[in-house]
Amino acid sequence: MYNTIQHFIEDDIKKIEKSIKEIITGEKDAEDLSEEVEERVLKLGTDLLGEIYELLDDEIRESISRKKHWNIEHHNQEKILLDTMGKITFKRTWYYNKHTKEYVYLLDKVLGFESGQKITLRSAAKALEETIDSSYSKGGKKAS
């Protein structure tokens, strides 16, 4: 988690400061700055979530409880999940249950993700909301 924040402070803040100087010289305007800040902050959010998910996966992998019931089958399996902030990329571990013979990503269970889920529920809800709003808007325009 600290790596993501440190990277933001060291790299992204400097780039934002550079854009501010470019506003002063007339090379950029407020819209350019707004877009840049938005992109960098959203990337901070997705990178931070990815790092947190990997830290949780590490905790699960090292837990005594997990070691009693689950064997590691594959480690560092990349997952990309679409969120309202953008794509969250993280690595997780695939496990085999010693007793039930079940295979599962324990991180997914902890986070409440369904098997094969590729989009967060919040992101899906926003997409549905946009679709509904768009349909009502189009319907209203056609009716008038």
Residue 24 lies in a domain: yes
Residue 126 lies in a domain: yes
What does the block give as tokens for 138?
């189009």
Number of structural domains in the chain: 1
Query: What is the distance between the alpha carbons of residues 127 and 25, in angstroms, rounded to a whole number?
Result: 39
Within a 13 Å sphere around the CA of 74, how many CA atoms are in the beta-carbon half?
10
Rounded to two decimals, the pTM is 0.85
Residue 116 lies in a domain: yes
Q: pLDDT by residue (tens digit) across 62-119?
A: 999 999 999 999 999 999 999 999 999 999 999 999 999 999 999 999 999 999 999 9
Q: pLDDT by residue (tens digit) across 4-27?
A: 999 999 999 999 999 999 999 999
Instruction: Report residue 142's pLDDT band, with 50, 70 and 90 as the boundaries.
Output: low
Residue 104 lies in a domain: yes
DSSP assignment of 21-81, as one string? Answer: HHHHTTSS-HHHHHHHHHHHHHHHHHHHHHHHHHHHHHHHHH-HHHHHHEEEEEEEEEEEE
Residue 143 lies in a domain: no
Residue range(s) defining the domain that contains residue 13: 2-132
Q: Are the CB atoms for 94 and 56 separated by under 8 Å?
A: no
State which H helix or E strand residue 88 sits in.
Answer: strand 86-97
Residue 124 is classified by DSSP as H
Residue 140 lies in a domain: no
pLDDT at 94: 98
pLDDT at 86: 97
Q: Are the CB atoms for 72 and 113 separated by under 8 Å?
A: no
Residue 102 lies in a domain: yes
Instruction: Report residue 2's pLDDT band, with 50, 70 and 90 as the boundaries.
Output: confident
In the predicted model, what is the mean pLDDT of residues 127-131? 88
